[in-house]
Amino acid sequence: MKKIIHISIGTIIVLIGLLLAYLAYLSLTYYRQPNLKLTPYNQQHTQLTTNTPYRIATYNIGYASYSPEYSFFMDGGKYSVAFSQEDVLTNLHGIVSTLKNLKLDFACLQEIDQEATRSYYQNQIDYVTKKLPDFTYTYGQNYDSPYLFYPFKKPIGRAKSGLLTLSKGNIQQAKRVQLPIETSFNKFFDLDRAFTISDIPVQTGKTLSLINVHLSAFTKDKSVQAAQLKTLFRYMASAYQQGNYVLVCGDYNHDVLGNSADIFGKSKTPLTWTKPFPKQDLPQHFNLATQNLAQKKIPSVRNLNEAYQPGKTFVSLVDGFIISDNIQVDQLSVKQTNFNYSDHNPVVMRFQLLP
């Protein structure tokens, strides 16, 4: 009996030691990337002009891991990593084909992995940019997470992931701007957050400031989401005051329509990522583009608590565009992909820069 007790105590001590060592590893390897300049690659030489129709899409590609059958553990589902490397490549192929078929001049992609356990270490930035060789691009890291040993049966592992901005015009300069996040232990799960600004010259001498953003989804601290939006709005206003055209594209993890539950006939119980977007707090001279989206009733996101079941799975609209008043929206829609390659559908806009 004493021998069994000694073995049990020894096992407990070892487990506690391993836990403390792991917590120390998380703390020591955790860091936040500061504001920094980004390098534009593969420069194109098309110059933007006023009164010319352009097409742009914003698309959270869900690190090419969210097939329709997929559910995610943080949403109450089953899985933590993609089904297989082959599945990731199949989804990447579908994502690129979708972007090509949209005949775009610009694209903003979120949740694109550079190196991650969850997507079998496929460098998705390389994959996408090689398949779309006619675009200048900038990449800004959103987060570089240490290895998360959770869930225990199939850990999500480590992830280096971010924001990819593609432009047919040359990008003169670009930067990454850090966003506020939680400072509690929750920071290891909701991860770092940032947005990127890519400045694209216009023939008139002005600049189009194209902002790509992905706000926090799982934080329960409302002040963090409010602080993120406040930081974003401040940079938008500053760019506009400099005389720029300002176009924000991204996944806001807020209900863009404000009443998506009514429009899509879904539960009104709010999730951490379905609070109404605070349009009333937008800076002067800015609007959230929503033209005809409610009438068309095509969602941009699905819940990952279960495999996708059309008509049953919770859906909403959290992706889209914020535009300054010197930009004219000609057309706005959500491209229906039936969530075949991601838990999001791309949102597409045709616009013009006003003289």
Full strand arrangement of the beta sheet holding 207-214: 36-38, 173-178, 194-201, 207-214, 245-251, 319-324, 286-288
Residues forming a β-bridge with 136: 167
| Four-CA torsion 166, 170, 175, 177, nearest 10 degrees | -50
All structural domains of the chain with their residue ranges: 1-30, 32-353
Give the 3-state secondary structure of residue 290: coil
Q: What is the DSSP string of 1-29?
A: -HHHHHHHHHHHHHHHHHHHHHHHHHHHH
Q: What is the DSSP string of 165-210?
A: EEESB---EEEEEE-----STTHHHH---EEEEEEEEBTTS-EEEE
Angle at 34 between CA 246 and CA 243, to 5 degrees: 20
Estimate to the nearest angstrom the gap between the alpha carbon of 196 and the chain centroid: 11
The CATH class of the 32-353 domain is: alpha beta
Distance between CA atoms of residues 139 and 143, nearest Å: 12
Give the 3-state secondary structure of residue 98: helix
Please state at what angle helix 85-101 crosses helix 124-131, rounded to 10 degrees.
Answer: 30
Residue type for position 288? L
Residues near 119 by beta carbon (within 8 Å), at least 6 away in sequence: 63, 64, 65, 81, 82, 88, 113
Residue type for position 75? D
One pLDDT digit (tens) per residue for the chain, 355 residues: 545 555 566 666 656 655 565 555 555 555 567 789 999 999 998 999 999 999 999 999 999 999 999 999 989 999 999 999 999 999 999 999 999 999 999 999 999 999 999 999 999 999 999 999 999 999 999 988 777 777 878 888 889 999 999 999 999 999 999 999 876 655 555 567 999 999 999 999 999 999 999 999 888 778 899 999 999 999 999 999 999 999 999 999 999 999 999 999 887 788 889 999 999 999 999 999 999 999 999 999 999 999 999 999 999 999 999 999 999 999 999 999 999 999 999 999 999 999 9
Q: Which H or E run contains 86?
A: helix 85-101
Compute the residue count for the chain: 355
Estimate to the nearest angstrom the gap between the alpha carbon of 54 and the chain centroid: 22
